């Protein structure tokens, strides 16, 4: 279930806002709202670290063309079966990013294009947050039909990097459903890449009753 976000020191928030206001006056694109600043402070602990992380994110967003990715219809069409943002939300109102793992093959993808598509999905989901209520996401990995040929460690590394560096504290919960027994070996590797805070947000769901604690099962796609 959802945990209350770690509190942010209000003096730290004030200092970070003052720094951001200075660069925002020169470049309005640098603006982050209070919810965003709080997420960076929770993730990076100090005002200096949070400020530097935001500057790096802003630079990355501009160079990567993040705000233009939704216009790349060819990319979206190519990878649409890999992931989708559902129209329904989980039980506390988080947008849901649904990933049917069986549709992926590590032998049949362009890592750069697929990473762009991941960013597109994270952007789409983040924009759907009702930030005054909840400002993080629910990511569902559906391992129904999963085989070892679907396992792509590089894609997962890229997702983890994106969430930690450029979408800090956006992950509210990661649900892994329909996991086959042999996935435990894969998880041992993946867990080693996660910090304690992130790994605590990953939940293996073994029954529909358990899933109901997070979302209504009927909202999950059946056309994958």
Return the pLDDT at 200: 96
> pLDDT digit string (tens) for 198-210?
999 999 999 999 9
Q: Are both 60 and 75 inside the same structural domain?
A: no
100, 144 contact by CB (below 8 A): yes
Q: Specify if 194 maps to a domain.
A: yes
d(CA 69, CA 112): 13
Rounded to the nearest integer, the mean pLDDT of the chain is 93
Structural domains counted in the chain:
2
pLDDT for 3 beyond 60: no
Q: Are both 18 and 128 inside the same structural domain?
A: no
Q: Are both 80 and 118 inside the same structural domain?
A: yes
> Which of the four pLDDT bands, split at 50, 70 and 90, describes residue 108?
confident
> pLDDT digit string (tens) for 130-179?
999 999 999 999 999 999 999 999 999 999 999 999 999 999 999 999 99
Q: Are both 157 and 183 inside the same structural domain?
A: yes
> pLDDT digit string (tens) for 53-99?
999 999 999 999 999 999 999 999 999 999 999 999 999 999 999 99
Total-model pTM: 0.93
Look up the domain containing 115 and give its range. Answer: 70-218
Q: Are both 74 and 58 inside the same structural domain?
A: no
Which CATH number belongs to the domain containing residue 204 in this structure? Answer: 3.40.525.10
Q: Are both 58 and 137 inside the same structural domain?
A: no
Q: Are both 100 and 200 inside the same structural domain?
A: yes
Q: Are both 108 and 184 inside the same structural domain?
A: yes
Q: Which residue has the higher pLDDT, 23 or 33?
A: 33
pLDDT for 18 beyond 50: yes
pLDDT for 2 beyond 50: no
Q: Specify if 1 maps to a domain.
A: no
Return the pLDDT at 25: 67
Q: Which residue has the higher pLDDT, 223 or 219?
A: 219
Q: Are both 24 and 89 inside the same structural domain?
A: no
Q: Are both 23 and 87 inside the same structural domain?
A: no
Return the pLDDT at 107: 85
Return the pLDDT at 224: 73
> Which of the four pLDDT bands, split at 50, 70 and 90, describes residue 212?
very high
Q: Specify if 4 maps to a domain.
A: no
d(CA 69, CA 211): 32
Q: Are both 74 and 60 inside the same structural domain?
A: no
Q: Specify if 3 maps to a domain.
A: no
Q: Specify if 99 maps to a domain.
A: yes
* Residue that has been written with the tokens 């085989």 in this structure: 147
Q: Are both 25 and 89 inside the same structural domain?
A: no
């Amino acid at each position: 279930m959802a945990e209350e976000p770690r509190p942010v020191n209000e003096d730290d928030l004030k200092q970070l806002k003052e720094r951001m206001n200075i660069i925002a006056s020169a470049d309005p694109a640098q603006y982050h709202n209070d919810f965003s600043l709080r997420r960076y402070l929770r993730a990076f602990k100090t005002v200096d670290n949070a400020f530097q992380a935001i500057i790096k994110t802003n630079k990355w967003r501009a160079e990567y063309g993040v705000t233009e990715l939704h216009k790349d219809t060819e990319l979206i069409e190519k990878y649409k079966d890999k992931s989708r943002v559902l129209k329904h939300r989980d039980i506390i109102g988080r947008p849901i990013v649904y990933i049917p793992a069986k549709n992926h093959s590590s032998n049949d993808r362009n890592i750069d294009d697929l990473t762009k598509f991941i960013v597109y999905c994270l952007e789409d989901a983040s924009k759907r947050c009702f930030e005054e209520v909840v400002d993080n996401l629910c990511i569902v990995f559906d391992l129904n039909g999963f085989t070892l040929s679907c396992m792509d460690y590089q894609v997962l590394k890229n997702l983890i990097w994106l969430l930690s560096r450029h979408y800090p504290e956006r992950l509210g919960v990661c649900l892994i459903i329909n996991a086959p027994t042999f996935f435990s070996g894969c998880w041992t590797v993946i867990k080693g890449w996660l910090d304690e805070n992130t790994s605590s947000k990953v939940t293996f769901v073994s029954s529909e009753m358990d899933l109901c604690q997070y979302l209504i099962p009927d909202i999950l796609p059946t056309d994958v």
